[in-house]
């Protein structure tokens, strides 16, 4: 899924005013271009950094499972590395020659950590999954029985955070030097924005073409090699080996599995997908995701897919004619709906590769049936746009193994389970329609929370069934089994259980002629179905569009996230102290730029809200994310042009406007624009979301134009962005609307903070 580097270029800087007095630029290597060449280098370096960042965001969580448990580790490591590099732009020591070697080391260690995890998995309890504050898919299977020790995954997170930050110090240093050679501050920032735009477009094209990591890291290696050759020709020949190793490791990663007939590896815009054709099994980002099961497969009865249909049949219902399947995946649910008499099926799947694998390889060929229309789309977005009324709507094993964005804690499917989403489902049902959701929900409190949401929408509690059968779904107990929830017009089905108590199903492939039913003898080889008692959790975790955290135990910042944030903060302070504040080339000392720092922190939260808000309105797809990030950058360019044209003298009016815009964003609920005419929806939601971006951009541009040292001001700004990224964890406690209140605090601190001052002789050199 494409992201941009959040507040780095999107941060909010820009304005032009030449530096006062001679610019104490670093002792640049021979051949360093002048101001005109520096503009081109700023564009190229910014584009290179963003492409490398996105490559790392895609690659590392797909190969180091532990990194998927933390929202923005890779993103924040890039911010830290760039910030330190910018602060070190005037150092005599050059850090770029080491970037390729450190990246190669990080890639190699990524492979090593995953191999170690596979070996030790039966003995690990990752993140306390017996009684978790936050459920991590792929980490829960062994915890309850044989786990022998708890692995401190925040330490692994902190290790890769530090390692990846080191990768980006060199490019950040070169960017700082290039920016310092551009006379106009806003002009320099504008070229940085243009580079970011080109980087987003380049990686979006790679995602659209589903290119493998070989291409991502080849671009990174070529870019690093180019700047190494231009600025450090004496080191180019010795370091070129590092760049070759980077590409070689990426090539091994993306193709070694595909060399065997046992596994094929694909890169969708969301996941690394491994497909095993013999078992017809799909893994995403190292975790088992789904298996294609044929109707007559004797070794895989997969009775769960037929449950809604057989219960409907055996309580006197007519076959479901119009069916909508959200999360259709590779086609199991589509196949069963066709088998049970559906006349038309709308099948919605967000991942294009998984959908294509189902089209090509499912043994029943369900997607070839003329009764099936399939869509590559976000399920919530499809529900909102659809005018069709359905007899049956299914959430078919809807879960994701990836975050919607590296800037927020929501997952791809988070907005499908909120109260507002359930109202969308109800609107799309016929009066006698049935809604079904099923999955392996892992924890009793997740089932209880969904039970509560459905009760609030339909006015009565859903019918809940489990395989294997349990007498009670307890909120505080782990449950590995399959859980199905039904609501809507289910009085016939509910009545069947009230009359007979138990429904029995044979442990064999289910068909419309299977001898399953109520009041049978049961016994060996039969599955018992009966509604258990469901305990609703006693917490404040009501799922809404503002707080959509299905897998979080309640409004809180999990202890694991806090420990990770503290560790990343400690690493950041250490690197800034070691590399960003020492061995200055100039005798002048610049004080800490609090204004730029807090502008970066506040803007990161504004951008997070923009991504989350637009995902809700227009879908949680990678393309929506790309358009949002691109739009934010274009909005900043508009702010730059405004400052260049009007050159504001006073900043307090713009601070007042940004605070007012943030207050409106906090008060207007995320779902306020749902159901509006599309053009009106786009206009109003864009005005709400991008108004703070414009005013923040004007503030940043004007403040940046008045700084003496562009590299250090920009470094402070990106360092603030990292703090803003860590502060985003509070959304799990406060919700996304209240996150804007935190952003208001950052902007108020920025207004109060004084710009950096230069102490000593600003023209002296060591």
The average confidence (pLDDT) of the chain is: 82
pLDDT band at 87 (very low <50, low <70, confident <90, very high): confident
Rounded to two decimals, what is the model's pTM? 0.87
Q: Determine the pLDDT at residue 124.
A: 63
Q: Give the residue from 741, 711, 156, 73 showing the smallest Cα distance to 407.
A: 73
Query: How many C-beta atoms lie closer than 10 Å to residue 757's C-beta?
Result: 11
Q: Determine the pLDDT at residue 335.
A: 95
Asked if the model's pLDDT at residue 489 lies above 50, the reply is: yes
DSSP class of residue 579 equals: I
Average pLDDT over residues 610-619: 82
Contacts of 46 (CB under 8 A, 6+ apart): 9, 175, 191, 192, 193, 194, 195, 196, 199
Give one word for 302, left, alpha or beta, with left for phi > 0 and alpha for psi -120 to 50.
left
Average pLDDT over residues 192-218: 89
What residues make up the domain containing 73? 35-254+547-759
pLDDT band at 271 (very low <50, low <70, confident <90, very high): confident
pLDDT band at 170 (very low <50, low <70, confident <90, very high): very high
Contacts of 147 (CB under 8 A, 6+ apart): 122, 123, 124, 125
* 306 and 245 housed in the same domain: no
pLDDT band at 678 (very low <50, low <70, confident <90, very high): confident
Q: Determine the pLDDT at residue 174.
A: 92
* 476 and 427 housed in the same domain: yes
Residue 285 token pair: 């980002």
Tens digits of residue pLDDT in 291-329: 999 988 877 777 888 899 999 999 989 999 999 999 999
* 503 and 573 housed in the same domain: no
The whole-angstrom separation of Cα 175 and Cα 162 is: 20
Number of compact structural domains in the chain: 2
Given a contact cutoff of 8 angstroms between Cβ atoms, the answer to whether 552 and 558 are in contact is: yes
Domain assignment of residue 441, yes or no: yes
* 625 and 654 housed in the same domain: yes
Q: Determine the pLDDT at residue 228.
A: 86
Residue 471 token pair: 């007498």
Question: Which CATH number fits the domain that encloses residue 753?
Answer: 1.20.1250
* 528 and 617 housed in the same domain: no
Given a contact cutoff of 8 angstroms between Cβ atoms, the answer to whether 208 and 217 are in contact is: no
Domain assignment of residue 261, yes or no: no
Query: How many C-beta atoms lie closer than 10 Å to residue 108's C-beta?
Result: 14
DSSP class of residue 590 equals: E
Q: Give the residue from 142, 413, 42, 112 showing the smallest Cα distance to 252.
A: 112
Q: Determine the pLDDT at residue 584.
A: 47
Phi, psi of 313, deg, nearest 5 = -60, -45
Asked if the model's pLDDT at residue 220 lies above 70, the reply is: yes
Q: Which residue has the tokens 């939260």?
A: 605
Task: Quote the longest CA-to-CA distance of the chain.
Answer: 94
Q: Cα dist. 488→53, 172, 345, 433, 437 in Å?
A: 46, 56, 19, 6, 12
Region of poorest pLDDT, from 185-199, 292-306, 580-594: 580-594
More confident residue, 119 or 233: 233
Last residue of a domain, one of 534, 558, 582: 534
DSSP class of residue 259 equals: G
Last residue of a domain, one of 534, 563, 595: 534
The whole-angstrom separation of Cα 455 and Cα 22 is: 69
DSSP class of residue 134 equals: B
Asked if the model's pLDDT at residue 163 lies above 90, the reply is: yes
The whole-angstrom separation of Cα 111 and Cα 211 is: 20
Give CB contacts under 8 A, 24+ apart, made by 52-55.
Answer: 52/78, 52/103, 52/167, 52/168, 52/171, 52/220, 52/223, 53/3, 53/5, 53/78, 53/168, 54/2, 54/3, 54/4, 54/199, 54/203, 54/216, 55/203, 55/213, 55/216, 55/217, 55/219, 55/220
Asked if the model's pLDDT at residue 68 lies above 90, the reply is: no
Q: What is the DSSP string of 455-486?
A: HHHHSSPPEEEEES--SEE-TTSEE-SEEEEE
Asked if the model's pLDDT at residue 202 lies above 70, the reply is: yes
pLDDT band at 626 (very low <50, low <70, confident <90, very high): confident
Instruction: Classify each residue of 702-728 as buried b or exposed e, where b means 16 or more C-beta atoms within 10 Å of its C-beta.
Output: bbbbbbbbbbbbbbbbbbbbbbbbbbb
pLDDT band at 618 (very low <50, low <70, confident <90, very high): confident
Compute the Cα dihedral for 437, 443, 444, 445 and give only its sign. Answer: negative
Contacts of 552 (CB under 8 A, 6+ apart): 133, 134, 409, 541, 558, 732
Question: Which CATH number fits the domain that encloses residue 389?
Answer: 3.40.50.150
Phi, psi of 371, deg, nearest 5 = -80, -5
Asked if the model's pLDDT at residue 283 lies above 50, the reply is: yes
* 191 and 294 housed in the same domain: no
Last residue of a domain, one of 501, 534, 567: 534
Give CB contacts under 8 A, 24+ apart, made by 201-204.
Answer: 201/630, 202/47, 202/51, 203/2, 203/50, 203/51, 203/54, 203/55, 204/2, 204/623, 204/626
Q: Determine the pLDDT at residue 578.
A: 81
Domain assignment of residue 407, yes or no: no
Asked if the model's pLDDT at residue 625 lies above 90, the reply is: no
Region of poorest pLDDT, from 42-46, 560-564, 637-641, 739-743: 560-564
Domain assignment of residue 66, yes or no: yes
List strand residue ranges (DSSP E) for 181-291, in order.
264-267, 272-276, 281-284, 287-291
Tens digits of residue pLDDT in 627-661: 888 888 899 999 998 998 888 989 999 999 999 99
* 153 and 227 housed in the same domain: yes
SS3 category, 327: coil
Q: Which residue has the tokens 């601190």?
A: 749
The whole-angstrom separation of Cα 296 and Cα 299 is: 9
Q: Determine the pLDDT at residue 261.
A: 47
pLDDT band at 404 (very low <50, low <70, confident <90, very high): low
The whole-angstrom separation of Cα 159 and Cα 113 is: 11
Query: How many C-beta atoms lie closer than 10 Å to residue 117's C-beta?
Result: 20
SS3 category, 639: helix
Q: Cα dist. 603→339, 711, 733 in Å?
A: 52, 19, 20
Given a contact cutoff of 8 angstroms between Cβ atoms, the answer to whether 86 and 176 are in contact is: yes
The whole-angstrom separation of Cα 173 and Cα 171 is: 5
Q: Determine the pLDDT at residue 766.
A: 26
Domain assignment of residue 345, yes or no: yes
Tens digits of residue pLDDT in 503-557: 988 877 888 887 778 877 767 778 889 999 999 887 766 899 999 999 888 899 8
Domain assignment of residue 541, yes or no: no
Given a contact cutoff of 8 angstroms between Cβ atoms, the answer to whether 202 and 53 are in contact is: no
SS3 category, 569: helix
More confident residue, 493 or 38: 493
Instruction: Classify each residue of 327-339 as buried b or exposed e, where b means 16 or more C-beta atoms within 10 Å of its C-beta.
Output: bbbbbbbbbbbbb
The whole-angstrom separation of Cα 273 and Cα 601 is: 35
Domain assignment of residue 2, yes or no: no
Average pLDDT over residues 551-578: 87
Given a contact cutoff of 8 angstroms between Cβ atoms, the answer to whether 456 and 279 are in contact is: no
* 223 and 244 housed in the same domain: yes
* 367 and 507 housed in the same domain: yes
The whole-angstrom separation of Cα 288 and Cα 138 is: 8
pLDDT band at 161 (very low <50, low <70, confident <90, very high): very high
* 372 and 518 housed in the same domain: yes
Domain assignment of residue 316, yes or no: yes
Average pLDDT over residues 580-605: 72
Region of poorest pLDDT, from 4-13, 340-349, 469-478, 548-557: 4-13
* 97 and 158 housed in the same domain: yes
The whole-angstrom separation of Cα 73 and Cα 97 is: 24
* 530 and 582 housed in the same domain: no
């Amino acid at each position: 899924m494409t992201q941009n580097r959040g507040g780095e270029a999107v941060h909010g800087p820009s304005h032009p005013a030449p530096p006062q007095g001679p610019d104490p630029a670093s002792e640049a290597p021979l051949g360093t271009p002048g101001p005109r060449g520096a503009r081109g280098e700023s564009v190229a370096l910014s584009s290179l950094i963003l492409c490398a960042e996105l490559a790392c965001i895609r690659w590392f969580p797909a190969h180091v499972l532990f990194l998927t448990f933390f929202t923005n580790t890779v993103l924040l490591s890039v911010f830290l590395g760039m910030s330190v590099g910018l602060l070190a732009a005037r150092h005599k020591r050059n850090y770029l020659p080491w970037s390729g070697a450190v990246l190669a080391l990080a890639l190699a260690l990524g492979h090593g950590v995953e191999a170690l995890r596979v070996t030790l998995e039966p003995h690990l309890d990752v993140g306390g999954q017996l009684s978790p504050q936050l459920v991590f898919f792929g980490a829960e299977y062994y915890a309850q029985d044989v786990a022998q020790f708890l692995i401190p995954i925040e330490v692994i997170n902190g290790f890769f955070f530090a390692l990846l930050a080191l990768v980006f110090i060199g490019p950040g240093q070169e960017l700082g030097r290039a920016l310092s050679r551009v006379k106009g501050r806003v002009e320099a920032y504008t070229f940085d924005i243009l580079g970011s735009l080109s980087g987003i477009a380049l990686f979006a094209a790679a995602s659209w073409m589903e290119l493998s990591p070989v291409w991502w890291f080849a671009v990174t290696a070529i870019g690093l090699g180019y700047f190494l050759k231009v600025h450090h020709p004496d080191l180019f020949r010795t370091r070129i080996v590092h760049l070759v190793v980077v590409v070689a490791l990426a090539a091994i990663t993306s193709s070694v599995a595909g060399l065997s007939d046992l596994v094929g590896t694909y890169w969708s815009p969301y996941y690394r997908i491994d497909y095993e054709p013999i078992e017809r099994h799909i893994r995403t980002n190292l975790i088992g995701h789904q298996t294609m099961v044929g109707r007559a497969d004797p070794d895989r009865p997969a009775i769960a897919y037929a449950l809604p249909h057989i219960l409907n049949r055996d309580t006197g219902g007519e076959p479901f004619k119009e069916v909508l399947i959200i999360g259709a995946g590779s086609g199991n649910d589509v196949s069963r709906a066709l088998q049970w008499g559906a006349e038309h099926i709308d099948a919605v799947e967000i991942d294009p590769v998984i959908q294509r694998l189902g089209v090509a390889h499912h043994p029943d060929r369900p997607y070839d049936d003329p009764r099936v229309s399939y869509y590559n789309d976000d399920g919530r977005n499809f529900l909102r746009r659809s005018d069709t009324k359905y007899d049956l709507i299914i959430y078919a094993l809807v879960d994701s193994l990836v975050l919607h964005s590296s800037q927020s804690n929501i997952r791809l499917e988070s907005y499908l389970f909120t109260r507002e989403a359930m109202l969308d489902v109800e609107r799309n049902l016929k009066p006698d329609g049935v809604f079904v959701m099923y999955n392996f929900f892992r924890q009793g409190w997740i089932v209880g929370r969904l039970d509560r949401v459905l009760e609030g929408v339909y006015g009565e509690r859903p019918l809940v069934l489990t395989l294997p059968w349990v007498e009670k779904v307890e909120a505080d107990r782990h449950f590995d089994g399959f859980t199905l929830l039904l609501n809507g017009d289910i009085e016939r089905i509910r009545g069947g259980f009230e009359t007979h108590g138990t429904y029995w199903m044979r442990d064999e492939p289910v068909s419309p002629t299977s001898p399953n039913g109520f009041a049978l003898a049961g016994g060996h080889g039969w599955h018992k179905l009966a509604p258990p008692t469901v305990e609703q959790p006693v917490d404040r975790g009501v799922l809404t569009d503002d707080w959509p955290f299905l897998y979080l135990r309640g409004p809180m910042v999990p202890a694991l996230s806090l420990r990770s944030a503290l560790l990343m903060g400690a690493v950041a302070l250490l690197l800034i102290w070691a590399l960003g504040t020492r061995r200055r080339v100039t005798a002048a000392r610049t004080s800490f730029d609090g204004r730029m720092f807090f502008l970066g922190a506040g803007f990161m939260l504004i951008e997070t809200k923009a991504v989350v808000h637009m995902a809700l309105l227009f879908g949680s797809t990678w393309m929506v994310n790309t358009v949002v990030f691109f739009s934010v950058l274009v909005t900043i360019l508009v702010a730059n042009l405004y400052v260049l044209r009007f050159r504001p003298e006073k900043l307090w009016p713009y601070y007042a406007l940004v605070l007012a815009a943030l207050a409106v964003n906090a008060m207007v609920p995320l779902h306020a624009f749902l159901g509006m005419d599309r053009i009106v929806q786009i206009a109003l939601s864009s005005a709400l979301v991008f108004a703070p971006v414009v005013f923040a951009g004007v503030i940043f541009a004007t403040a940046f134009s008045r700084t003496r040292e562009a590299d250090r001001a920009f470094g402070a700004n990106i360092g603030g962005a990292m703090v803003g990224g860590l502060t985003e964890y509070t959304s799990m406690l406060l919700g996304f609307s209240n996150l804007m209140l935190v952003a208001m605090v950052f902007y108020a601190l920025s207004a109060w903070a004084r710009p950096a001052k230069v102490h000593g002789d600003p023209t002296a050199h060591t």
